[in-house]
Amino acid sequence: MANKKIISGIVVRGLGEGTYFMSMPDYQKEIEEKLGFKTYPGTLNLRIDAKKVNLLRNFKKIIIDGFKQGNKTFGGVDCYRAKIKDINGAVIIPHTSKHKKNIIEFIASVHLKSELKLKDGDKISMELLK
């Protein structure tokens, strides 16, 4: 099927910042409006072949706008619909990130490590959706 693209990656420990950002009401509200689900406050981090990141360009980008809170600015996020097993979610690429290019983050409505019984070092595949 031409509209289907699978990317495999290795589950890796994140920087611990996904929980903070995904808990912010501004991000939560816009993700729910634009992606159609309330996100679990955290991300699943996957190390992939850096060349695979370019595949995202072939898929519809959904932009979550940045915002200001007090005197601090929080950047926007590019999202790409995807699923892991039967769990719908999205790959998120923050406009400002401390991650290396080969680390991508996945958000969903559930805690993916618990739901899928994943641990750091596990290999998992994700399907990008048109």
pLDDT digits (tens, 9 = 90+) for 37-66: 999 999 999 999 988 888 888 899 999 998
pLDDT tens-digit series, residues 68-119: 888 988 999 999 999 999 999 999 998 887 667 789 999 999 999 999 999 9
Write down the pLDDT at residue 16. 73
CATH number at residue 94: 2.40.30.30
pLDDT at 1 over 70: no
Instruction: Count up the domains in the chain and report the number.
Output: 1
State the Cα–Cα distance between residues 11 and 105, nearest whole angstrom.
Answer: 10
Write down the pLDDT at residue 110. 97
Cβ–Cβ under 8 Å, residues 44 and 112: yes
Q: Which domain holds residue 63?
A: 5-128
**Burial letters 72-87, b for 16+ CB under 10 A, else e:** eebebbebbbbebeeb
CA trace torsion 111, 113, 115, 117 (10° rounding): -170
